[in-house]
């Protein structure tokens, strides 16, 4: 079963990158992926919106995929400052992260909004990466599995199939902190996520579940070896081509 889920290593650049550095990073990743010649894993970079088209152009032909970090729920209209899934697609994008904890916290995105964004991604022909994860308070109160279940049930649209989404488990307390759950904790969360998905869709066994939160070259091997972990969503370590490629190599 695990082998049927092609690992996805996704880099979330967040609000980082001016044109020159970002293009150098994208080119570095593209060169590494091209020379590795991987056909058994996928490598995705998610630059800030201003650089999507330029990065898509820079990695063309390398096999590196390009994703957005967010989208609006509507295809167009009077939404000053927002970007639709259709616009992402038009910029050369194939994936979009929805419901990242930073957006849930900073922008008040609820499960219902995240779900609508995943539907918007489908409408535009994009693959949504739906993010979920518990806070430290929730973990310490032993509520991790309940929180994940609520988030999945609220954020995954009906009509989901394994080909139409990726789920990323990102404990909020592990993001950007250098802290990671134990491999046993990751295994338990991922197994639970798959069980919950199993109640919602026919082919939950084929859904790719990414782990995210302080993944780096030195811990990627052990995190990616956990059963039910089918890739990584990488923040800080995706801003250096060598470090990001080391994670992709570990997949
Ligand atoms: P991090 O971020 O790798 O810097 O912890 C992960 C994420 O937010 O996707």
Delineate the domains of the chain, giving CATH numbers in brackets.
8-250 (3.20.20.70)
Q: Which of 170, 190, 192, 243 is catalytic?
A: 170
Decide: residue 182, CB within 10 A, 0-12 exposed, 13-18 middle, 19+ buried.
Answer: exposed
184 CB-near residues (< 8 Å, 6+ apart) = none
pLDDT at 1: 40
User: Which residue, by CA, sits nearest to atom 3 of ligand 1?
Assistant: 235
Tell me, in angstroms, the distance from the centre of ligand 1 to residue 234's CA. Answer: 5
pLDDT at 2: 40
* Cα separation of the two ends of the chain: 16
The backbone torsions φ and ψ at residue 15, rounded to the nearest 5 degrees and listed phi first, read: -90, 60
Residue in 174, 157, 241, 159 with CA at minimum distance from that of residue 210: 174
CA distances 222 to 143, 155, 186, 232, Å, are: 25, 28, 11, 12
Low-confidence ranges of the chain (pLDDT < 70): 1-3
The whole-angstrom separation of Cα 218 and Cα 209 is 20
For residue 233 and ligand 1, the question of a CB distance below 6 A is answered with yes
Note if 170 is an active site residue: yes
The dihedral over CA atoms of 193, 194, 198, 200, expressed in degrees to the nearest 10, equals: 40
CA atoms within 13 A on the CB side of 23: 8
pLDDT at 4: 77
For residue 39, the 8-state DSSP code is S
CA distances 122 to 59, 94, 199, 205, Å, are: 24, 11, 21, 20
Best of 234, 239, 240, 247 for a ligand 1 pocket test (most atoms within 8 Å of beta carbon): 234
């Amino acid at each position: 079963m695990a082998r049927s889920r092609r690992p996805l290593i996704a880099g979330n650049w967040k609000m980082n990158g001016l044109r020159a550095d970002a293009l150098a990073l994208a080119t570095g990743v593209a060169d590494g992926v091209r020379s590795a010649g991987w056909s058994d894993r996928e490598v995705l970079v998610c630059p800030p919106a201003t650089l999507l088209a330029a990065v898509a152009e820079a990695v063309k032909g390398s096999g590196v995929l390009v994703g957005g970090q967010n989208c609006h729920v509507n295809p167009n209209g009077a939404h000053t400052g927002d970007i639709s899934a259709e616009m992402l697609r038009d910029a050369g994008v194939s994936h979009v992260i929805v419901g990242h904890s930073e957006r849930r916290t900073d922008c008040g995105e609820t499960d219902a909004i995240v779900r609508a964004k995943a539907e918007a991604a489908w409408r535009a022909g994009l693959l949504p990466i739906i993010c979920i994860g518990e806070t430290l308070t929730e973990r310490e109160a032993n509520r991790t599995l309940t929180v994940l279940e609520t988030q999945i049930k609220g954020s995954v649209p009906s009509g989901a199939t394994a080909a139409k989404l990726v789920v990323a488990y990102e404990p909020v307390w592990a993001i950007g902190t250098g802290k990671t759950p134990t491999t046993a904790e990751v295994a338990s969360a991922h197994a639970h996520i798959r069980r919950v998905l199993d109640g919602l869709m026919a082919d939950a066994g084929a859904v790719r579940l990414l782990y995210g939160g302080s993944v780096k070259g030195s811990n990627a091997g052990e995190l990616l070896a956990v059963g039910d972990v089918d890739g990584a969503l990488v923040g800080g370590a995706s801003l250096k081509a060598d470090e990001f490629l080391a994670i992709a190599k570990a997949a």
